[in-house]
A and B are shown apart, each in its own frame.
Chain A
Amino acid sequence: MVEVNIEVLTVDPNSRIPVVVLKEKEGESKRILLIWIGEPEAWAIDNHLKQVSVPRPMTHDLLKTVIDTFSGKVQSVCITAIEEITFYALVKLELNGEVHEIDSRPSDALALAIRSDVPIYVEEQVLEENGFLEAEVRKDKKTHRDAKDVLENLDDDIAKHYTV
């Protein structure tokens, strides 16, 4: 498992779908992984990153409250696999000394990770097969076309793209 950070939340200029840009935390040449996510989950991540205060708890806040109520502790989240275009993630949750791994979409796992202030990991194999270096993208137009478009048009103002 490799630890990553959320570098930025942006919008794919071609498909207009939100994209989370994850970047390796350690290492000299830090690999990048792009994950296309749903709009509601993008808002959940964006609101928290920008510390937007909402009058009522949003769905991911409720998720966090449910876990807190049980005195559960999120330990970490991990993006574990990619099959075709579907990403899989696990939420590692500790309760009464027992650790549970709960199947999740990466977007929900990320929204929860930032609310719980816990590390985000990606399985090495996922990074190996789907990660890339920024320098690679600039050179190689063919295989990284989508990534190139995303990285060259970073725009974290998602409110501009979607109406609330």
Chain B
Amino acid sequence: MLKVEDILYISCSKMVEVEIDIITTDRKDRLSVVVLKEIEGNPKRQLLIWIGESEANAIDLVLKKTYMPRPMTHDLIKNIVDTLSFTVSAVFISSVEDNTFFAKLKLKSDREEFDIDSRPSDALAIAI
């Protein structure tokens, strides 16, 4: 069971690297959930984030390496970032307020770095 302290810990200045463990559906309310898991450490903590259906699909398509004939919205964002010679250097889930998760998308070029406010689902879909 995840405690509030854990979430805050993840969101604090000390950042913890996680990976997408699985994307699944909450059986009770049928919402999509992405399960994040700590990469290092023992035991590895998990963080559940409930996300929208379309963002869940976007993440699922990439994880399953599904070939899409046309670029999806997150591909378009990635293509624009690439076109402008930037890279997505990291995403981080920065805070949680009243069940709403906040994330930041870190974009980097040779000279500049930007943090862009985002929903975790979009940030994850672009990151992968």
Alpha-carbon separation in the docked complex, A160 to B119 (Å): 26
Which residues B28-64 have CB closer than 8 A to chain A? 52-55
Asked if B80 contacts A66 (CB within 8 A), the reply is yes
Give which listed residue, A41, A57, A67, contacts B117 with CB less than 8 A.
A57
Alpha-carbon separation in the docked complex, A121 to B102 (Å): 36
Asked if B77 contacts A62 (CB within 8 A), the reply is yes
**Considering only CB atoms, which chain A residue lies closest to B98 in the complex?**
A55
Assess A105 versus B100: contact at CB under 8 Å? Given A66-B107, A69-B114.
no
Q: A15-23, A96-104, A149-157: which lies at the B interface? A: A96-104
**Considering only CB atoms, which chain B residue lies closest to A55 in the complex?**
B100
Asked if B73 contacts A93 (CB within 8 A), the reply is no
Asked if A41 contacts B81 (CB within 8 A), the reply is no
Interface string of B69-80 (1 = CB under 8 A from A): 111111011011
Chain A residues within 8 Å of B, Cβ to Cβ? 38-41, 43-44, 55-60, 62-63, 65-67, 69-70, 72, 86, 88, 91, 93, 95, 100, 102-105, 108
Asked if A66 contacts B81 (CB within 8 A), the reply is yes
A/B interface sample: 24 pairs, CB < 8 A: A38-B54, A40-B52, A40-B73, A57-B117, A57-B118, A59-B122, A62-B77, A62-B105, A62-B119, A62-B122, A63-B76, A63-B80, A65-B116, A65-B117, A66-B105, A69-B116, A72-B80, A86-B70, A91-B76, A95-B84, A102-B79, A103-B71, A105-B70, A108-B71
Q: Using Cβ atoms and an 8 Å threshold, which residues of chain A touch B74? A: 59
Q: Return B47 CB to nearest CB of chain A, in Å.
A: 18
Identify whether the interface residues of A are mostly helix, strand, loop, or mixed: mixed
Q: Using Cβ atoms and an 8 Å threshold, which residues of chain B touch A103? A: 71, 79
Q: Return A33 CB to nearest CB of chain B, in Å.
A: 18
Chain B residues within 8 Å of A, Cβ to Cβ? 52-55, 69-74, 76-77, 79-81, 83-84, 86, 100, 102, 105, 107, 114, 116-119, 122
Asked if B76 contacts A104 (CB within 8 A), the reply is yes
Alpha-carbon separation in the docked complex, A117 to B52 (Å): 27
Q: Return B76 CB to nearest CB of chain A, in Å.
A: 5
Q: Return B103 CB to nearest CB of chain A, in Å.
A: 9
Asked if A63 contacts B84 (CB within 8 A), the reply is no
**Considering only CB atoms, which chain A residue lies closest to B120 in the complex?**
A56
In the complex, besides A59-B73, A72-B80, A105-B71, 15 extra interface pairs with C-beta distance below 8 angstroms are: A38-B54, A40-B53, A40-B54, A40-B73, A41-B73, A59-B55, A62-B116, A62-B118, A63-B76, A65-B117, A66-B116, A70-B86, A72-B84, A91-B80, A100-B83
